[in-house]
Amino acid sequence: MTQILYNSTRNNQNKLTAAQAIVKGIANDGGLYFPETMPTIDLDWDHLKDASYQTIAKLVLGAFFTDFTEDEIAYCVDRAYDDKFDNELIAPLKAINEQVSVLELFHGNTIAFKDMALSILPYLLTTAAKKLKIEEEIVILTATSGDTGKAALAGFSEVPNTRIVVFYPKDGVSDIQERQMVTQEGNNTKVVAVNGNFDDAQTKVKELFNDQALNKQLKKQGFLLSSANSINIGRLVPQVVYYVYSYAQLLKNGAIKSGDQINVSVPTGNFGNILAAYFAKLIGVPIEKLICASNRNNVLVDFFNEGIYDRRRPFYLTSSPSMDILVSSNLERLIYLLNQRQDEPTKEWMEQLINKGSYQITQTVKEQLTDFYANEADDFLTATTIKEVYQDNHYILDPHTAVAYAVYQQYLKETQSQDRQNVTVIAGTASPYKFPESVLHALEVNTAQLSGRQLIEKLAEISQIEVPSAIKNLFDAPIRHQEVVEIEEMKDTILRFLIKY
């Protein structure tokens, strides 16, 4: 097998092995690591339709991470995808009707799709560090719009030779999301709320990764920064697995025949999940259209329709908070790829985004966006969709998944009649129990007098779905993290936690 190296989207000469790129997280030039070539994988659907999630994960990860041995990949996969998931299929595919199935990515520790990649990242990272003979303690530094934080905390809690610091926007996540983070156990964990939105926190985190003086100071103290966001290639590639798996499951269920094209609709914020679907298409999964679903923070909709990325717009807090993002970091990887892997234009566009707040891609790149369809769903349409799907199919969507379903419906109306449409997979990104108040409101239940615990109990009564163990005792857990800081205080907060100065 030919070894695949990873280069920065802003400097093609900055090349690392997969292990090095996973540990590094983000390049020193601010770019994101991207495979020099896409792997060639034998997707034998006759075999894969009966394969377990773990088997498909080993196939896909082994093809991308060529410097890991077969045994190392197997070690990571087998420990990541075990009984911590409450469904033995790991990512079950639930048919809503003949045309639509929901890929349930929320059966892990934190009942959100981030568990799929963040269950394996700690094993990939510590295995990579061992391969590279790294002696420093690895510090995971991440900003979260809600789900990444808890999933990363759960994944890295008490993992030897690691620490993790998570920043989240105060008042910018759901009550359940916040409580999941602030009750996190583990002496190596630190959770901090910031006065600002997710984009503010993420921009500062990227700045700290590129702060050479900080990195030098930390190295002297025996620490090495790394990332758990989807800017880390070790987060992105594991997400490719479940799109391969979903196609195999459609075959097994008889919903499609081998070679049939499908569509995928993904609720999209930081662009990592839908980019993973695009990677799946590039390695041979027959995906025709990637439906990019946004909420009221519709910066990606304008990008795909106009070729202009402009973050200079109002920032809205919505019922789908994990998508409340105006700077979609992983989009950098897509435009780099579609621009023939040219690093200079990518670097210029990203600098324009930082300095001017916007950039415009060339017509040549814009013409290559035809694999994607983009549209938005506001809170009203999201709530309406939750209600209608429940009434018609007795299936409850969380607000993020409802955004994807609503935009899929818009795509149908704008393209062709449903009876001629491809089978579509909706990426089910969170359990409805993650956002009980929004879901109950959509179902026209009066929630005004209900506490957090009562919201969960009421949703259980209506849905007849067992409360996930991840949140069953959440409101009995003690609050362990209460610090709130300003954006400019984030650096000192990290240093105090690590160095105790």
Q: What is the 3-state secondary structure (H, E, C) of 395-407?
A: CCCCHHHHHHHHH
For residue range 212-224, list pLDDT tens digits in order.
999 999 999 999 9
- The per-residue pLDDT for 210 is 87
User: Is residue 458 domain-resident?
Assistant: yes
- The per-residue pLDDT for 500 is 66
User: 22 and 234 in contact (C-beta within 8 Å)?
Assistant: yes
In this structure, what token pair is assigned to residue 157?
């809690």
User: Is residue 105 domain-resident?
Assistant: no
Q: How far apart are CA 228 and CA 226, in angstroms?
A: 7
Percent of the chain predicted with pLDDT > 70: 99
For residue range 336-391, list pLDDT tens digits in order.
999 999 999 999 999 999 999 999 999 999 999 999 999 999 999 999 999 999 99
Sequence-distant (≥ 6) Cβ neighbours of residue 443 within 8 angstroms: 386, 387, 390, 396, 462
Instruction: Give the containing element (helix H, strand E) for 492.
Output: helix 490-499
- The per-residue pLDDT for 199 is 87
Beta bridge partners of 427: 103
pTM for the whole thing? 0.92
User: 434 and 106 in contact (C-beta within 8 Å)?
Assistant: yes
- The per-residue pLDDT for 293 is 98
For residue range 94-108, list pLDDT tens digits in order.
999 999 999 999 999
| Identity at 306, one-letter amino acid code | E
- From 269, 230, 275, select the one nearest 399 (Cα to Cα): 269
User: Is residue 144 domain-resident?
Assistant: no
User: 91 and 52 in contact (C-beta within 8 Å)?
Assistant: no
In this structure, what token pair is assigned to residue 244?
């391969």
DSSP annotation of 2 reads P
Q: How far apart are CA 440 and CA 437, in angstroms?
A: 5
User: Is residue 10 domain-resident?
Assistant: no
User: 159 and 188 in contact (C-beta within 8 Å)?
Assistant: yes
- The per-residue pLDDT for 104 is 98
CA 105 vs. chain centroid, Å, equals 11
Instruction: Give the containing element (helix H, strand E) for 392.
Output: helix 379-393
- The per-residue pLDDT for 501 is 46
Listed as own residue / partner, the contacts of 354-361 with beta carbons closer than 8 Å and 24 or more positions apart are 357/310, 357/311, 357/312, 358/308, 358/309, 358/310, 358/311, 358/312, 359/308, 359/309, 360/307, 360/308, 360/309, 361/307, 361/308, 361/309, 361/335
Beta bridge partners of 372: 290
Q: How far apart are CA 117 and CA 239, in angstroms?
A: 6
- Which residues, given as ranges, of the chain have pLDDT below 70? 1, 417-420, 500-501
* 445 C-beta neighbours (distance < 10 Å), count: 16
User: Is residue 437 domain-resident?
Assistant: yes
- The per-residue pLDDT for 417 is 54
In this structure, what token pair is assigned to residue 443?
């179902």
User: Is residue 445 domain-resident?
Assistant: yes
Residues spanned by the domain of 440 = 432-467
Q: How many domains does the chain have?
A: 1
Q: How far apart are CA 65 and CA 43, in angstroms?
A: 17
User: Is residue 315 domain-resident?
Assistant: no
* 44 C-beta neighbours (distance < 10 Å), count: 12
User: Is residue 441 domain-resident?
Assistant: yes
DSSP annotation of 112 reads B
Q: How many distinct helices (H) and strands (E) make up the chain? A: 22, 16
